[in-house]
């Protein structure tokens, strides 16, 4: 459905600001998952980005947390660097998640306690690279504004990268392509699936403050390999 949309002009609307976009494709993909969940698991609930009926205030029971397109701005501007993110939470605990990079045809999946996979191949836990100096960092400008010392962390690191799709930035850390990803404002559906996969690969996931992420609220996000996590938290996130 997404790939077919590349051939036509998209209907694009703005949400909270001029760069917060939704297209008819975001809505159609969420509707597709909604039909599937309703048909196969009628008692399950859906917490999704693009449908007003999909806003929840509790995570009781089984809940599918869905972002039909994470990185909509990339989808519109680049036709790449975006992903579908789907997670199953039961009583607030992340059980299963998939992040699908549509353009690269890379399907990441993870199940709590059972490891993570990419296109069916088991992913290995990331090899520990020494310190910040040996790791690429992914961070957005808003995170640096919130914690100005992060500018020093970036300078101390191997270099700065930014892709513009939170779930894929999580996968970059989970797969060992970067040491950490820091963001100032993500929604539950941006991180729900990616968090499960990253944790299965040994990453630590919290708010920038070190607090646990409440999957009903937007907020800051930090995912990192453990030793990079400690270095960031102890020296740069104060
Ligand atoms: P989205 O494409 O699903 O909105 C961009 O840096 C990353 O931040 C994307 O993963 C994007 O997800 C997410 N994001 C969350 N809230 C956003 C907002 N209000 N405006 C733009 N991007 C947002
Ligand atoms: Ca989205």
Spans of all domains in the chain: 2-122, 132-236
Sign, Cα dihedral of 212, 214, 219, 222: positive
Out of 64-73, 120-129, 134-143, 221-230, which region has the weakest mean confidence (pLDDT)? 120-129
- E strands, 102-195, in order: 106-111, 116-118, 121-122, 136-139, 159-161, 180-186
**Per-residue pLDDT band at 238 (split at 50, 70, 90):** confident
The CA-based angle 203-196-69, given to 5 degrees, is: 115
Q: What is the mean pLDDT of the segment spanning 204-218?
A: 97
Q: What is the mean pLDDT of the segment spanning 10-14?
A: 92
Whether the pLDDT of residue 166 is over 80: the answer is yes
Taking ligand 2, which is a single-atom ion, which protein residues have CB atoms under 5 Å away? 49, 67, 69
Report whether residue 190 contacts ligand 1, using a CB cutoff of 6 Å.
yes
pLDDT value, residue 53: 87
Report whether residue 30 contacts ligand 1, using a CB cutoff of 6 Å.
no
pLDDT value, residue 162: 97
What is the 166 CA–ligand 2 centroid distance (Å)? 10
What is the 73 CA–ligand 1 centroid distance (Å)? 8
Report whether residue 71 contacts ligand 1, using a CB cutoff of 6 Å.
yes
Whether the pLDDT of residue 129 is over 80: the answer is no
Which one is predicted more confidently, 42 or 238? 42
User: What is the pLDDT of the chain when averaged over all its residues?
Assistant: 96
Strand, coil or helix: 136: strand
**Does domain 2-122 fall into CATH 3.30.540.10?**
yes
Report whether residue 125 contacts ligand 1, using a CB cutoff of 6 Å.
no
Q: How far is CA 164 from CA 9, 94, 194, in A?
A: 22, 24, 14
**Per-residue pLDDT band at 228 (split at 50, 70, 90):** very high
- Report which bound ligand comes closest to the CA of 73: 1
Ligand 1 atom at minimum distance from 162 CA: 6
pLDDT value, residue 131: 87
**Per-residue pLDDT band at 59 (split at 50, 70, 90):** very high
CATH of domain 132-236: 3.40.190.80
């Amino acid at each position: 459905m997404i790939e077919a949309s590349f051939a036509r002009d998209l209907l694009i609307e703005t949400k909270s600001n001029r760069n917060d976009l939704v297209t008819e494709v975001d809505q159609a993909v969420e509707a597709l998952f909604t039909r599937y969940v309703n048909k196969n698991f009628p008692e399950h609930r859906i917490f999704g980005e693009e449908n007003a009926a999909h806003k929840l205030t509790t995570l009781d029971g089984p809940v599918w947390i869905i972002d039909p397109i994470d990185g909509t701005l990339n989808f519109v501007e680049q036709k790449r660097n975006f992903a579908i993110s789907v997670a199953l939470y039961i009583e607030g605990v992340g059980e299963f998640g998939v992040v699908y990079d549509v353009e690269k045809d890379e399907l990441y999946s993870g199940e709590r306690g059972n490891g993570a996979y990419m296109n069916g191949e088991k992913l290995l836990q990331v090899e520990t690279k020494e310190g910040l100096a040996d790791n690429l960092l992914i961070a957005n400008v808003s995170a640096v504004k919130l914690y100005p010392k992060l500018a020093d962390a970036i300078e101390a690191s191997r270099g700065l990268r930014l892709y513009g799709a939170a779930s894929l930035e999580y996968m970059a850390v989970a797969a060992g392509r970067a040491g950490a990803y820091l963001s100032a404002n993500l929604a539950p559906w941006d991180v729900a699936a990616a968090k499960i996969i990253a944790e299965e690969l040994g990453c630590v996931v919290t708010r920038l403050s070190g607090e646990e992420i409440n999957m009903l609220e937007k907020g800051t996000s930090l995912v990192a390999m453990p030793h990079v996590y400690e270095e960031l938290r102890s020296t740069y996130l104060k």
